[in-house]
Amino acid sequence: QRSCASRASACACAGAMTAEGEEGAAEYESPLEDPPRRMSASELFEQLADGHAPHALDERGHDAMSGGTSSSDDEDASPMSAAEKLAEPPGQVKGRGTLPKVLLSLQDRRSRLVNRLRGQIDKVKRRAKQADAVKFQDKLMFTAGVFNFAMTCYLSGAQPAWIPHVYSAKFLCLIALRLYFYRKEKFGYFLLDFCYFANLVWLWYLWRLPDSIMLFRIAFAFANGPLGMAVVAWRNSLVFHSLDKITSLFIHIEPVLVSYVMRHVLPDQGQSGVRWRTGVPGEGWLDVCWDMIANGLLVYIAWQCAYYLKVQVLDKEKIKRRNRSTESRKYVTSFIFLRDQKSALGSMIRKAPRRHQHCAFAAIQLGCTVFMLLLAPLLYFSAHAHFAWLLFILGYSIWNGSCFYFEVFSARYQEQLRQLQISKNLADDLGAETAP
C-alpha cells in the first residue's frame, strides 16, 4: 500500500510540473507573430557598402555569430516588441552590444581589395602602353643606325681625316650610355675587358701621343688582332635598331677602320692639322714585329694582371656573395658568359677543373692574342690584305645581323607586341568592370 501511495504521489507531482512548464513556455513566447525576414547576401553587402549595419538580423543568426550562447541577464530581461527593435540605432542590438567585428570590417576589406585591383590594372595599362613606345624607339634606333653606317662609309672615302675625330666622339657617347645601362644590369665588369682597354690605347695615341710610332704600332696590332678576331668570337652582328649590338660591333670593328684609314689612306700629315706618325721611312719587318708582338704582348700582360687582380682577387667575394644570393640580377663577367655558352671556347673552359677554370680562360685568351698579333705585321705592310680583313669582319657581322633579323628577331618581336596588346586589352576590360 505504501508503494502504491508513493507512486501515485510522484505521478501527481510530475503532472503538475509539466503543466507549469507549458504555462511558462507560453508566457515567454515572442511577441512577433511572424519570424523576421532573412536578408539576402546582396542586400547585406549593399547596406555595408553604404556605411550602415543591417536593420534586420534573425536572432538565431546573431547567436550563431556570437558563439551560440547568451548570458543569464538576457534570460531575465523582458521580451522586446517589434516596434522597439526597429527603433534601435543602426548597428546596435539591445542587450547584445555592437555588431560583430567581422561584419564591420567587410567594407574596409572590400575597399582595400578594390584599391589593390585598380593598382594592378594601372600597372598593366602602363606596361601595355610600352607597345607603341617600343615600336617608336626601335624605328628611331634603326634610322640612326643606318644613318651612322652610311655616314661612316662616306667619310671613309670623301673625308678620311675626319674618321679619328668621329670615332672619338662616338666612343665617348656610346660608352657613356653603355656604362649607364650595364651598371643597372650588373654587367659592369664587361667594361674591364681588353677590347675597351684597346680602345683607350687608341684614344691615348690620337690625342696624347700622336707622334709615338711605337704606340701607333701597338694600337694597330690590338685593333687588327684581338679586336678584329673578337667580332668572330663574340658573334657581333650589325643590327641597326639595337643600341647594345651596335655598341658591341663599334668597339671591335671601328678601330680596324681607323687603323686602315690612318695607315693606308691618310698621309703622315693629317688634313685636320694634327700630326699622327703612322710610319717611318725605311722601316723594316723586324722593328715592326718587335713593337707589335713583343711590346704589344707586354702591354697585354700588364692589362691581364690588373684584370685578374680586380676581378679574381679584390672583388671575388663580392661577386660570389651576390651570385649566391636570391637577387634577380647577378654579376656577369666575360669568364662567366663564355663559360656558360654552348661554343667551342665554352667547352674548353668547362673541361678544366672547377678551381682552375679561370686560369684556363686566361691561357686561352693569351694564346689567341699571341696568334692574332702575329698576323698584324702583314696587315701593316699590305693595304690589300688589310682591306680584305676589314671587308671579311664587316661581312661576317652583316651576315650575323641578317640571321638575327630573319630567324630570331621577327618571331620574337611579333610575340612581344602580341603579349603587350593582350595586356592592354585585359587592362581595359578590368578597368571597365571595376569602374565606380
C-alpha cell at 312: 679574381
Q: Which of 198, 203, 372 is nearest to 302 (CA)?
A: 198
State the pLDDT confidence band at 39, using cuts at 50, 70 and 90: low
Confidence (pLDDT) at 178: 94
Which helix H or strand E contains 363, and what residues bound it?
helix 357-381
DSSP-assigned states of every residue in 47-80: HHHTT---S---HHHHHHHTTS---HHHHHSPP-
User: Is the pLDDT score of 56 beyond 80?
Assistant: no
Alpha helices of 130-212 — where are they, by DSSP H? 130-158, 163-184, 194-207
Confidence (pLDDT) at 129: 64
Model pTM above 0.75: no
Confidence (pLDDT) at 113: 75
User: Is the pLDDT score of 338 beyond 70?
Assistant: yes
Between 287 and 71, the higher pLDDT residue: 287
pLDDT in tens, 96-143: 445 566 666 777 777 777 777 777 766 666 666 666 677 788 889 999
Confidence (pLDDT) at 75: 43
Residues 211-215: contacts with CB under 8 Å, at least 24 apart: 211/275, 211/276, 211/277, 212/277, 213/277, 213/278, 213/279, 213/280, 213/291, 214/291, 214/295
Given a contact cutoff of 8 angstroms between Cβ atoms, the answer to whether 265 and 232 are in contact is no
Question: What is the average pLDDT score of the chain?
Answer: 77
DSSP-assigned states of every residue in 262-326: IIIIS-SB-TTS-B-----TT--HHHHHIIIIIIHHHHHHHHHHHHHIIIIIISHHHHHHHHHSS
Which helix H or strand E contains 119, and what residues bound it?
helix 106-128
State the pLDDT confidence band at 257, using cuts at 50, 70 and 90: very high
User: Is the pLDDT score of 260 beyond 50?
Assistant: yes
Look at the alpha carbons of 390, 391, 396, 398 in this order and tell me if their dihedral is positive or negative: positive
User: Is the pLDDT score of 184 beyond 50?
Assistant: yes
Residues 252-255: contacts with CB under 8 Å, at least 24 apart: 252/195, 252/227, 252/228, 252/393, 253/227, 253/228, 253/390, 253/393, 253/394, 253/397, 254/167, 254/170, 254/171, 255/167, 255/198, 255/199, 255/202, 255/219, 255/222, 255/223, 255/227
User: Is the pLDDT score of 412 beyond 70?
Assistant: yes
Instruction: Tell me the mean pLDDT in the region 13-24.
Output: 47
Confidence (pLDDT) at 25: 41
User: Is the pLDDT score of 64 beyond 60?
Assistant: no
For residue 329, give the 3-state DSSP assignment. Answer: coil
Given 3-state DSSP classes, what are the helix, strand and coil percentages for the chain, each rounded to the nearest 5?
A: 75, 0, 25
Taking the CB of residue 185, how many other CB atoms lie within 10 A of it? 12
For residue 343, give the 3-state DSSP assignment. Answer: coil
* DSSP annotation of 89: P
Burial class (CB in 10 A: 0-12, 13-18, 19+), 53: middle
Instruction: Tell me the mean pLDDT in the region 233-255.
Output: 93
Given a contact cutoff of 8 angstroms between Cβ atoms, the answer to whether 420 and 128 are in contact is yes
State the pLDDT confidence band at 1, using cuts at 50, 70 and 90: very low
Confidence (pLDDT) at 378: 95
Instruction: Give the integer Cα–Cα distance in Å for 5 and 298.
Output: 130
Share of the chain above pLDDT 70, in %: 66
Look at the alpha carbons of 8, 14, 18, 19 in this order and tell me if their dihedral is positive or negative: positive
State the pLDDT confidence band at 20, using cuts at 50, 70 and 90: very low
User: Is the pLDDT score of 14 beyond 50?
Assistant: no
pLDDT in tens, 75-102: 444 444 444 444 444 444 444 445 566 6
C-alpha cell at 304: 691581364
State the pLDDT confidence band at 419, using cuts at 50, 70 and 90: confident
